[in-house]
Structure 1
Amino acid sequence: MSRILRRAFSAFPARAGPSTISSTTIFPSAPSVASTSPKAVRRRRTESPPHKSISLSPLSDADLYDLDTNKKFPFELEKDYQSLKSSSIFENESLTESEQRSLFLKGTAEWRSRVRGYAPRGKKSRHDFILSIMGGKRINAEEEQEPLNEESEEGEERIDPSKQIVGQRIYLPNIQIRLMRNHVPEGESYDPYIATFRIPPSMTKNDLRSYLSAVYNLDVTFIRTSNYVGTVGRLRTGEVVKKGGSNQNYKKAVVGLKEPFHYPDDVEELYAQGLKNGQGDALGLAREEWLENQYSINISKEMRNRAMFKYYKGARWRSRTHANLGNTMREIMKRREEREGKVSEEVQRRWSTIAEEALGSKSAEAQPQAA
């Protein structure tokens, strides 16, 4: 019986492996930027790879964030780095050249992923932002302090012009933003440094970045979007219309995170981490117990099954293969028996053909000898 069960359960997928290991670079979501690049870009870089010391996309290249890398900046980025370095001094003189380059690259990436709509703008403000991350300041920067007005009180809070929002406020927005599960292709590990949202097609990357920063205080590193068009149909009159229901136009946004994120019910990840660390199923069982105590998942399933049984009371199941483990195993064994039966019939037919040919040849040889 154990052999039958083992063969029946062999059709079920194996337990998934652990997610990607946390990055050791100074910019943790850099590998996620490279893995979420468009397919055409990844295919082009695979077919025509650049030189080992050249990086075509420095902000999405995880190797440039390593301190022992041999890759170099592109010409424009190298020119900007040398210009900033020549006009600035750094408080921490113990930083090496590779560490300064990594901090410069991190500041550039964060500047590009900032929330738009702040003042002032320009190259000077960008360099000041990068220097705040690198721990430096300009050589010829004079601290200009605006004098307080005589009418204003001394205890009045001053507004920093660099923190002043230029855009207009929007009240009562009519948009819906949904957090979706990350799509993990078969054979690849889960990436905890990205999150997937479904947003309206009219929403831009800056709108989503501002929304996450203002509502949830969540800083993101990058955003990649892709538009999905719902299916359309044709009426009898020939007019093309959009089908109703769930076939709606939407935009998918993949957001890079600074800290790893897992769903509370991601028990498979804890099982995989426990097996990897030698703790067995202790982490997964503890999380299942916590979920049961907090949300009563098993009780909810039992109540749902009772409600469904009461709802379909008096009805008949027309399908033989419905959501039942016993019926699934029975259907698997039935199909395997049919396949093995066909194989055995084909083997018997071939052996019978070979035996008939052998008897025919022996009888043909015996007739001339008798004559």
Structure 2
Amino acid sequence: MSAARFLRRHWQKRPLLVRGAFPGFVDPLDVKEVLDLAASPDAESRVVRRAGRYWSLEHGPFPRAALARHPRRDWTVLVQDTNHFSRRAERLLDRFSFVPRARVDDLMVSYAVPGGTVGPHVDSYDVFLVQGRGRRRWQVSRQSDLGFVPGLDLKILERFEPEEEWVLEPGDMLYLPPQVAHYGIAETECLTWSVGFRAPSDQELAAGFLDYLGERLALEGRYADPGLAPARAPGRIPPALLAHVARTVSRVRASRADALEFAGRFLTEPKAHVWFTPPARPHSRARFAAAAARRGLALDARARLLYAGRRFFLNGETVQVPAACAGWLRKLADSRNLVSTAGAPAAFLDLAHEWHARGFLHLGEVGSNP
């Protein structure tokens, strides 16, 4: 099925099971590497356990010895942003670049022992579930009753009525639109890779935009009441003060340019736990330019570079660039790497050298790790 047909028939409309979507699929990380990530303070991880009707949620990091003490059934460990730690994981995420990168969130992995599950639930975003080693049974429902079990740290559906069911084998893929109830249970020890997408709520966007405007407002003036008369009701807000507040608020204006600027910054803002590591021995400008021409460049796996028209945004900041750089930056944003920079303008190489020194950009096609 072509990407265009999938988007037309299934995206945000109906689930789709694709048998053998990834023939000969090899997990980007093996079980040991996943558990090593779960033990790292640099990665976001959590463990969900089930014992009958009892559910528990713990947040990592998890020492290997702690995971070894878990029973042989009914638990799972989830690790977010695996694409930040493995080039192989980043390549899997790249397979979904038919969706704009502004919408892509991360590649999460779930390692589960038999019976491991996070329970029946819904997501507010689209998700592709790619089955790695082992088998996992999936049940889905288009039910309208989406009430949660009260008193849990997990948002588990109180009632779940499956309408369809499949067992996914290695290389199979299941797409689920937002708000489709689903329940995955490991049949064997398994790894499942989840490609998640960003779907900010209107409340989140509006609150973020108001914060953005608040940092940039420059309104002159201050409330004054030189003709104030003695108060007969001291607890009452003076009508003149209320009128002044209303007039001041009405002076706040936002343009389409403000919205574009906010959107670019908002959509490229790194997650709170993300930081970048500059090279221990940065190249000089001349050596960097020569190496980039030979080896090419690649964005760090954690870096987010997006554009809208001639405006570019990197990691929550606006990037001011000469027109001669625009084409090169668009290529970098679209593919996240450049095979070579031969012929690139000096201004682009200046910017790339600065980003390299800050850890945003690397020489050669690399992520953070193999």
Point out the structure with max Rg over C-alpha: 1
Q: Which has the higher strand share?
A: 2
TM (norm. structure 2) is 0.23
TM-score (norm 1): 0.23
